[in-house]
Amino acid sequence: MKIIAVGRNYIEHANELKNEIPSEPLIFLKPDTALLKNNEAFYYPDFSKDIHYELELVLRVCKEGKHISEKFATNYYDQIGLGIDFTARDIQEKHKQNGLPWELAKAFDHSASISKMIPKEEISYLYNLNFFLDKNNERVQHGNTSKLIFSFEKVITFVSQYITLKKGDLIFTGTPAGVGPVKVGDHLVGYLEEEKLLDFHIK
């Protein structure tokens, strides 16, 4: 499986990092070795001094497809969960300044923490869905799907023009504003509406 991620998919987050609002989705990949499951601890890597959390909604792809039209895109994911797109912001900034790819800042081991996934049918307000991140009992992020620049369907349609989606792939759909650093000892808790899905520590 592969992990497909969207950058800058909420206006306020693009603004906080002083990035332009994109005219088409900004896509990057993480390998399967990036996955961190079952609320296992995230171990702070020694190659970065500025690891940031980015809470995101994650879609699970349920069938193979390419050149998917927007009208049918909703049929290509069946579950939603939460994920943290851990980002080595210091490495990313250095590479951005030099016009280089981001992989080392985004694709490192355990950079994609994911929760259990919830069947899509169990979610009432897919297009007005709240999600939250608390760091050490303080709310740091609040996202809502109505604020997405590119909807889930637009992302699926766009990506599938280039990359075949396969069953089991995960799509990280972008982070809202409020990203920030983690340090050893931090406790991250993520909610999809009222349901606590992520609950783990930085070690």
Residues lying near Mg ion in the complex (CB under 5 A): 54, 85, 175
Closest CB to Mg ion belongs to which residue? Answer: 85
Distance in Å, CB of 69 to Mg ion, minimum: 26
- Spatial distance between the Cα atoms of 134 and 4, rounded to a whole number of angstroms: 24
DSSP per-residue codes, 112-176:
EEE---EEGGG-S-TTS-EEEEEETTEEEEEEEGGGBSS-HHHHHHHHHTTS-B-TT-EEE----
5 vs 73, which CB is nearer to Mg ion? 5
Three-state DSSP class for 63?
A: coil
84 vs 202, which CB is nearer to Mg ion? 84
Distance in Å, CB of 57 to Mg ion, minimum: 11
Contact 78, 62 (CB under 8 A): yes
Distance in Å, CB of 133 to Mg ion, minimum: 12
65 vs 143, which CB is nearer to Mg ion? 143
Distance in Å, CB of 157 to Mg ion, minimum: 20
Q: Which residues pair with 53 in a beta bridge?
A: 180
Q: Which residues pair with 57 in a beta bridge?
A: 82
25 vs 65, which CB is nearer to Mg ion? 25
